[in-house]
């Protein structure tokens, strides 16, 4: 470290001046000791430095964190055993493109690593988004902090910042996903709903309703059907303002949780990328947020006919029928 080098040079200059103006064995002995300190430190520290640099250290980060919470970034030993480092420094580069934020985080540690060493950052969770965290290299120093060996880390991870649920002004009606009708089930198979029709060539004998067929003296087939739902689409209107987006997503996740609890059938729609995700559980909500944060995700074509769109705006909610 530059500060340690400057301090050492000042001490060396002072000892050299002292030996010049005070010509005695003690002054020369002090000068030799000061010259030897970095070399002795390097000789003692070098085995630990080499071991740590070659196969000792790996990085990690949280997979998920809450908005306004904290993100944990840290290091640990690869083999789970104790590792002694005289002094270690790792610089992490972080970015949240959804919130338009980026910063660096510096981890410093000296001593025995027998459990994960963590730094907690509140600023990384200040806004919702996908925080990408990278660390390519670190440095392990000797006891004096003058000599170092680089550590190749090649770490790349990400933390999903989840919004904290907040009730909206207008709650969508989960009953808006009513069944409009039925259609033949693609591929056949088991279904709770059936349509009765005359037998046609190629129909499976398993689907014949033998009791009705004997009654009407004609073959009647039970054709598996599936329900046609009136679709409910949740559409958060994302802006370029991180603070407003936090508020929008807080209401979005609250609405999703309520609809999931009521077993409603609905979709989340990202108007920026045109990606739609069918939401059935909390994992689907998280997956949609990752798509939203990273501005990616495979498009899923959804029929907007007979759909109710629940728009979450910066200061209100609106429901429109399509």
pLDDT over 80 at 94, yes or no: yes
Residues 212 and 235 both lie in one domain: no
On whether residue 259 sits in a domain, the answer given is yes
Token pair recorded at residue 157: 């991870």
Residues 88 and 206 both lie in one domain: no
- Find out whether 4 and 144 touch, Cβ atoms under 8 Å: yes
Length of the chain: 322
Within a 13 Å sphere around the CA of 138, how many CA atoms are in the beta-carbon half? 32
List pLDDT tens digits, range 109-144: 998 988 899 999 999 999 999 999 999 999 999 998
Residues 96 and 131 both lie in one domain: yes
Residues 209 and 240 both lie in one domain: no
- CA atoms of 65 and 63, how far apart (whole Å): 7
On whether residue 167 sits in a domain, the answer given is no
The per-residue pLDDT for 98 is: 92
Domain count along the chain: 3
**Phi-psi category of residue 105: left, alpha or beta, with phi > 0 → left and psi -120 to 50 → alpha:** beta
pLDDT (average), residues 42-65: 89
Q: Which domain holds residue 210?
A: 180-228
Per DSSP, 208 falls in state: B
Residues 83 and 156 both lie in one domain: yes
- CA atoms of 209 and 224, how far apart (whole Å): 12
- CA atoms of 167 and 257, how far apart (whole Å): 11
Residues 8 and 138 both lie in one domain: yes
The per-residue pLDDT for 180 is: 45
Residues 211 and 249 both lie in one domain: no
The per-residue pLDDT for 229 is: 61
pLDDT (average), residues 94-117: 92
Q: What is the mean pLDDT of the chain?
A: 83
| Percent of the chain at pLDDT exceeding 90 | 39
Residues 156 and 28 both lie in one domain: yes
On whether residue 277 sits in a domain, the answer given is yes
On whether residue 170 sits in a domain, the answer given is no
On whether residue 10 sits in a domain, the answer given is yes
List pLDDT tens digits, range 169-225: 888 766 555 554 555 555 555 555 555 667 777 666 666 766 767 777 777 766 666
């Amino acid at each position: 470290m530059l500060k340690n080098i400057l301090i050492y040079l000042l001490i060396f200059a002072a000892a050299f001046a002292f030996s010049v103006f005070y010509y005695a064995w003690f002054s020369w002995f002090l000068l030799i000791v000061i010259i030897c300190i970095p070399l002795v430190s390097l000789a003692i520290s070098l085995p630990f430095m080499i071991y740590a640099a070659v196969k000792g250290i790996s990085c990690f980060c949280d997979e998920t964190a809450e908005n306004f919470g904290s993100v944990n970034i840290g290091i640990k030993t690869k083999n789970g055993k104790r590792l002694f480092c005289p002094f270690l420094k790792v610089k992490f580069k972080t970015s949240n493109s959804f919130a338009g934020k980026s910063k660096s985080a510096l981890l410093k540690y000296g001593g025995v690593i027998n459990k994960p060493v963590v730094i907690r950052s509140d600023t990384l969770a200040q806004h919702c988004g996908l925080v990408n965290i990278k660390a390519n290299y670190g440095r392990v120093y000797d006891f004096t902090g003058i000599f170092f060996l680089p550590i190749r880390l090649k770490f790349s991870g990400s933390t999903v910042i989840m919004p904290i649920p907040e009730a909206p002004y207008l709650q969508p009606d989960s009953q808006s996903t009513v069944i409009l009708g039925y259609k033949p089930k693609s591929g056949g198979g088991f279904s709770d709903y059936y349509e009765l029709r005359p037998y046609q060539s190629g129909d499976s004998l398993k689907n014949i309703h033998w009791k009705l067929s004997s009654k009407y003296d004609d073959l009647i087939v039970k054709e598996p059907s599936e329900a046609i739902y009136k679709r409910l689409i949740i559409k958060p209107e994302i802006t370029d303002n991180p603070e407003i987006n936090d508020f929008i997503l807080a209401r979005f996740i609250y609405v999703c949780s309520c609809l999931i609890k009521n077993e409603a059938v609905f979709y989340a729609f990202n108007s920026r990328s045109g990606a739609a995700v069918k939401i059935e559980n909390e994992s689907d909500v998280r997956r949609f947020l990752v798509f939203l944060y990273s501005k990616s995700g495979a498009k899923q074509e959804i029929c907007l006919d007979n759909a109710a769109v629940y728009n979450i705006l910066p200061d209100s909610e609106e429901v429109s029928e399509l």
